[in-house]
């Protein structure tokens, strides 16, 4: 039985990737694609849908959400938050791949998850989340003995920095020692002219070209280095992971989930 999905910010880079995979999938049915009324795609038929399933780009969010079992949203924090009330009223699951939320906004999402299943995930790639599992093991085993650096690379148009994934990687490292990323992170050594402290986590950001996404974690030990790395070669890996997780999410109880929860299933 197919799962009915709606895609918010459907004309964006990730929205288009999700639509491309959804319209060729035998396990999901695209029932709505949302975009702003001023976009050139507005009112046009979504590519890959035929006369029997004539889905058009629309801003009629309430109607589209009510027809779906799960909404996939890769947009902006303000747009994602405006979507919350609609999905809660419709009792529709929501996968949020948007990044850049502040703490208050995250708390708003968590509150909404008491009423519907929500996945809040900065990186829906299966490979990237397997990297996080490996990172957790390494941080617990050698994190106290290593100098740790996180380097993240993204395309020139990415606004938030560091990336949501980089922050998540830092938090995974800190969880291993019950420490706080805010206390340990160093983002600009030009402003921190001192000998490196043992527990520092350096975070470096690259914004260039059309880099889809690359994350490296360096564990520098005496006489040897270990690097854990994941690189997305196209946005297809994020879309594929998002669709798999969205289908899984429709069968979950109310609550706040991540991709790690999906991988445990």
Catalytic residue set = 154, 158
C-alpha 9/C-alpha 19 separation (Å) is: 11
Strand partners, 29: 4
């Amino acid at each position: 039985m197919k799962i009915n999905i709606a895609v918010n910010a459907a004309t964006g880079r990730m929205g288009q990737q999700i639509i491309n995979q959804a319209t060729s999938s035998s396990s999901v049915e695209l029932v709505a694609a949302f975009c702003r009324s001023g976009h050139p795609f507005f009112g046009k038929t979504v590519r890959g849908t035929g006369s029997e399933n004539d889905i058009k780009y629309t801003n009629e969010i309430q109607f589209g959400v009510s027809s779906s079992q799960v909404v996939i949203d890769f947009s902006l924090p303000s747009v994602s938050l405006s979507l919350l009330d609609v999905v809660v009223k419709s009792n529709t699951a929501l996968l949020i791949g948007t990044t850049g939320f502040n703490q208050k906004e995250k708390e708003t999402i968590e509150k909404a998850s008491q009423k519907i299943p929500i996945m809040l995930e900065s990186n829906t790639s299966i490979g990237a989340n397997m990297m996080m599992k490996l990172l957790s093991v390494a941080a617990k085993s050698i994190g106290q003995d290593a100098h740790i650096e996180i380097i993240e690379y993204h395309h020139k148009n990415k606004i938030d920095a560091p990336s949501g994934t980089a922050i998540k990687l830092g938090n995974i490292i800190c969880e291993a020692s019950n420490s706080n990323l805010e206390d340990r992170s160093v983002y600009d050594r030009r402003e921190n002219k001192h000998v490196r402290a043992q527990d520092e986590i350096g975070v470096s950001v690259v914004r260039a070209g059309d880099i889809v996404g690359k994350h490296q974690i360096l564990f520098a030990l005496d006489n040897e280095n270990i690097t854990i790395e994941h690189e997305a070669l196209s946005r297809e890996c994020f879309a594929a992971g998002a669709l798999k997780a969205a289908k899984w999410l429709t069968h979950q109880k109310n609550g706040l989930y991540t991709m790690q929860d999906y991988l445990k299933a």
